A and B are shown apart, each in its own frame.
Chain A
């Protein structure tokens, strides 16, 4: 596969991911888009109404905003590093 068709393929991959994320937002009108884990919690309560969690997290984000800040930081750190590594590899391969 030559370079330009590979570039096209990469853009198609990115496009595919975007479409998969946007389609539910547009077409699933009744969706609340809460986390699937919260639904699992409700399901546990349904199966065993008396179940009480016996341990809770010692540290809990102060609000939804703080939580999203932490998630954004996590993604930024990871993406930054992936970008750094790929960039380094690219530069290295061009200097050969």
Chain B
């Protein structure tokens, strides 16, 4: 398994190098999803980096714990990361007439706990920031706070709560993934509103403005993400119920 993963990693690295070669030194400006490079004032960019780092460290610790205790779960872990990778590459048209993409962090958050996703989600964001000029390095802290922290935590707690109330895992997964997706963009709107309060209406007016751009666009996408997450969940339940049981018995760190 490790041999396979290292081979996979080598392929990925080759791909990354090739992509880097293709895109280096091109002058055209491109726009990014989430908060774009340089579009947060330095103070706020630094603030969100500070918020982000402890979560990332806890995530790393929980990741090592899970993989040392149950090395067989590595493939499932990689698959959760890959799911985020796919979903955050899909820009889907929405009813507002603009496009956005899902986040895909709900699945991993429900399976492995939210802090693990703070690491996997950040890797996806880093890839997009460095190679696709999508998001940014200065805004990575802020974007990780929304997509890799707030979203997964919202998804995890929604899953736990709904499961307790309905004891229907499919409904719980669907709501968890959808809400996690939506919360990601609500947090993005809050971050932008904090950094750019409207001169007349202050934070609230700005929040409404950014929220109407991000959050409304995101509603149908959040539903799509919920449906896709249930799809993968169904496959896992059919073909890999054993590892799901192992995960259930693991005491997932709640923070």
Q: How far is the CA of A90 from the CA of B206 in the complex (A)?
A: 49
Q: B15 touching A73 by the CB < 8 A rule?
A: yes
Residue from the list A17, A63, A82, A90 in contact with B28, Cβ < 8 A: A63
The residue of chain A having its C-beta at the shortest distance from the C-beta of B83 within the complex is: A82
Residue from the list A37, A59, A73 in contact with B130, Cβ < 8 A: A59
The residue of chain A having its C-beta at the shortest distance from the C-beta of B199 within the complex is: A47
- Contacts A32-B98, A92-B239 hold; do A41 and B20 have CB atoms under 8 A apart? no
Q: B37 touching A55 by the CB < 8 A rule?
A: yes
Which residues of chain B are near A39, meaning CB under 8 Å? 98, 213
Binary contact readout A17-43 vs B (1 if CB under 8 angstroms, 0 otherwise): 100110111011011111111111101
Which residues of chain B from 130 to 186 have a CB within 8 Å of any chain A CB?
130-133, 136-138
Stretch at the interface among B54-62, B63-71, B110-118, B224-232: B224-232
Number of A-B residue pairs having CB atoms within 8 Å of each other in the complex: 236
Q: How far is the CA of A36 from the CA of B218 in the complex (A)?
A: 9
Q: How far is the CA of A74 from the CA of B137 in the complex (A)?
A: 19
Which residues of chain A are near B25, meaning CB under 8 Å? 59
Tell me, yes or no, whether B19 is within 8 Å of chain A by CB: yes
Residue from the list B85, B231, B239 in contact with A74, Cβ < 8 A: B85
A59 nearest CB across to chain B (Å)? 5
Which residues of chain B are near A63, meaning CB under 8 Å? 26, 28
Residue from the list A30, A43, A69, A90 in contact with B209, Cβ < 8 A: A43
- Contacts A13-B227, A57-B37 hold; do A34 and B30 have CB atoms under 8 A apart? no
Q: B192 touching A40 by the CB < 8 A rule?
A: yes
Which interface class (under 10, 10 to 19, 20 to 34, 35 or more) fits B?
35 or more
Q: How far is the CA of A17 from the CA of B221 in the complex (A)?
A: 9
Q: A53 touching B38 by the CB < 8 A rule?
A: yes
Q: B37 touching A53 by the CB < 8 A rule?
A: yes
Binary contact readout A31-75 vs B (1 if CB under 8 angstroms, 0 otherwise): 111111111110110111001011111011111001101111111
Which residues of chain A are near B99, meaning CB under 8 Å? 33-36
With most chain B CB atoms within 10 A of its CB, the pick from A17, A37, A61 is: A37
12 chain-A/chain-B pairs, Cβ below 8 angstroms: A16-B224, A20-B220, A24-B93, A25-B93, A36-B96, A37-B33, A47-B209, A57-B137, A60-B29, A61-B22, A63-B28, A89-B236
Given contacts A51-B196, A59-B26, 18 further A-B contacts (CB under 8 A): A10-B231, A14-B231, A21-B93, A24-B93, A33-B98, A34-B98, A37-B36, A40-B214, A47-B199, A53-B39, A56-B29, A57-B133, A60-B23, A61-B26, A77-B12, A86-B235, A89-B236, A93-B239
Chain B residues in the interface with A (C-beta under 8 A)? 8, 12, 15, 19-20, 22-39, 41-42, 75-76, 78-79, 82-100, 127-133, 136-138, 192, 196-199, 206, 209-210, 213-214, 217-218, 220-221, 223-224, 227-228, 230-232, 234-236, 238-240
